[in-house]
A and B are shown apart, each in its own frame.
Chain A
Amino acid sequence: MSTTTEHRTHRTEARVRPAAPRPRRPLSSLFFSQKAAPYLFVLPFIVTFALFWAYPIGRSAVMSTQWIIPGTTEFVGFDNYVRMFNDRLFWLAVGNSLRYMLLTLLLLIPIPMGLAVLVNSKVGSPRIKGFFKSAMFVPALTSVVVAGIIFRLMFSEGESALMNQVIGLFGMEPIRWMRGDITGLIALLVLALWRWTGVNMMYFLAGLQQIPQEHYEAAAIDGATRWQTFRHVTLPALKPTIIFVTTISVFGGLAMFLESFMLWGGNNSPQNIGLTIIGYLYRFGVERNDLGFASAVGVVLLALVLLINLTQLTLTGFFKKEAR
């Protein structure tokens, strides 16, 4: 970002450099050219972008205006988009994804932050904290498939299933977890909480460790209470971490699909209680092979994600920094 001026001086140095040590053949001169080299370095990204991003998205945009059945394609204009916005199932999926995303934000920011502050404090034994950090981190190592298998079996309908035993301790009757809208959502949230609390806690710990000790000393001299110290020293210093965790949680939450896929053993759930936006995309694009319609869904989602990204980069001043 800030290397522009340094590079200029380097170029002049390169120019006054004594003549090239030995004569070069044309091909190898390419390897010595500071003009050509950068393009060769970034070439893999350019090719990847063209081949696996730009072209497929462009084709998807074209397909989204077509009615596609094997053998024939027909131009239908914006019919696919109209159909999507009029589909009640689409809005159900949007609602499911949104509520899951919002609830994970509500759970997976305050809880890991509190645990991180606790681990970072001087209270408690360092060895136990070391064990605690490892134990909290291990769930993030599991694949969604293995985690899904375990949680599916813990949330089974039988009365001897773990979760039904747990609620039994509180005198509650066994629940058919995955048949109910709210209980299914609870299972999804417990799974998310189990897998990601540890990682988010590590993010917050990394943020906490960057706060200079002097800030706390200054707060203590000013006679700040614990809450005031947290509110006015810790919390502002954690702002970048909070923004980062929020960003990944928003995208992770909106793109949630496999957790639901594993817990319900496929993309179908009773009354579509587990259907998410991506599940909707998967249903039409993969299961029903309705490519034109699925393309329209995909295009809308991608446009939305890129719009969020652009807004965020503008707000955080990324473009100004890069253009400098």
Chain B
Amino acid sequence: MSASLMSPTITDQPTQQLRDDDPNRSSRGRSALVNCALIAVAAIALIPFWAIFVGTFQDGTNLIRHGLNLGINWDEAGLQNYVMLFTDSGNFFRWFANSVGLTAVQTVLTLFVSAFVAYGFAKYEFRGKIALFITVVLLMTVPFEMMMLPLFSQIHSMGLSNTFVAIFLPFLAAPMTIFFFRQYLTGIPNELLEAGRVDGVSEFGIFFRLVLPLMTPAMAAMAILVGMGAWNNFLWPLLVLRSPEMYTLPVGLNTLLTPYGNNYDLLIVGAFFSLIPILVLFLMFQRFFISGMTAGAVKG
């Protein structure tokens, strides 16, 4: 580990090399050691994925009773869980479709509404702006869990419980997304907006036609963050949605995890199957995922 504490350039400094008789050989040895350590840690991180993958070929009830491990019990292994998933899985694909649809709608609307608000904060001076922006920042880190009960009774009294709208409506003007977009938008030159005004474009025309197209990189980063949050959202849909055919994937999967369940096969294979879309997207757009999910730290 001491090698890890070293900065890149110092490796090549003569003062350091004096300590080793053969700098090339020792640094190669160190390299091999680091490579092995990294592969080992990465393998550990991937073990749970392997475990659930192997589990999909096993009998679900036995897995619930005895637990998951990395081996395959060949006596009972087979593709029966997959056959069941595609032929007789009840609401599973309905939940899947609900999740896909809700994720798409919530992501697009959140990006749009938050960008709209952020533009107001970034490019105008108006009375009450500071107080309002401080509010945005204060709300940014409030954990949703602490708001869930007041929010739920509000949604209930608005007559929106058990609706899809309730899932995303309270979160469209998202403080975190607004803050990130505002930081990004302050970097856009005011001359551009002035040029638009001189050409007789309305204030909203400037936003839609000049500013929005410039926001693509920030949008990509936030699309990942918001989309991930929406796809994996569990607690809020669990509170709001009541009818099984309206469940999202996480809520539906959770209902299979009861002690009195009789569909543990579906639980395992469904849990694994729900990982696939996001893994495929990650492999395709890895760079955006990493920049999106770390977006908060760099600017914040």
Contacts and interface: CB of A to CB of B under 8 A. Distances in A.
B51 A154 contact: yes
Contact of B150 (A56, A139, A147, A155): A56
B136 interface: yes
Interface in B1-38: 1-11, 13, 15-16, 27, 30-31, 34-35, 37-38
Contacts of A271: none
Contacts of A251: 141-143
Given A60-B150, A141-B278, A146-B271, A132 B42 contact: yes
Given A41-B207, A144-B232, A202-B290, A121 B6 contact: yes
B83 interface: no
Given A121-B6, A213-B9, A223-B15, A115 B41 contact: yes
Interface string B144-155: 111111110110
A53 B41 contact: no
A173 B42 CA distance: 27
Contacts of B186: 1, 3
B275 A146 contact: yes
A38 B133 CA distance: 13
A264 to B, nearest CB: 11
Interface residues of chain B: helix, strand, loop or mixed (majority): helix
Interface in B62-87: 63-70
A323 B121 CA distance: 14
Interface stretch (A80-88, A180-188, A294-302): A294-302
B274 interface: yes
Interface string B36-60: 0111011101111101100100000
A219 B45 contact: no
A75 interface: no
A162 B5 contact: no
Contacts of A247: 141
B217 to A, nearest CB: 15
B135 A49 contact: yes
A95 interface: no
Interface string B193-208: 0100110101111010
Interface string A107-131: 0000000110111111111001101
Given A45-B117, A219-B10, A151 B48 contact: yes
B7 A7 contact: no
B3 A194 contact: no
Contacts of B293: 137, 140, 199, 202
Contacts of B124: 7, 34, 37-38, 41
Interface in B248-300: 249-250, 253-254, 257-259, 267-268, 271, 274-275, 278-279, 282, 286, 289-290, 293-294, 296-298, 300
Contact of A149 (B47, B144, B253, B300): B253
Contacts of B130: 322-323
Interface string A45-65: 111110111011101100000
A315 B267 CA distance: 48
B116 interface: yes
Contacts of B180: none
Contact of A37 (B55, B141, B203, B258): B203
Nearest to A191: B48
Nearest to A309: B138
Contacts, number: 356
Given A22-B200, A265-B257, A138 B46 contact: yes
Nearest to A60: B150
B9 A197 contact: no
A4 B129 CA distance: 12
A49 B137 CA distance: 12
A136 B194 CA distance: 46
Contacts of A6: 190
Given A10-B190, A38-B126, A45 B145 contact: no
28 contacts: A3-B123, A3-B190, A38-B125, A41-B116, A42-B121, A42-B132, A48-B173, A115-B41, A118-B1, A123-B27, A131-B42, A138-B45, A141-B279, A153-B55, A206-B297, A216-B7, A229-B6, A229-B10, A230-B6, A245-B297, A248-B296, A262-B254, A281-B145, A281-B148, A285-B148, A302-B146, A305-B143, A313-B137
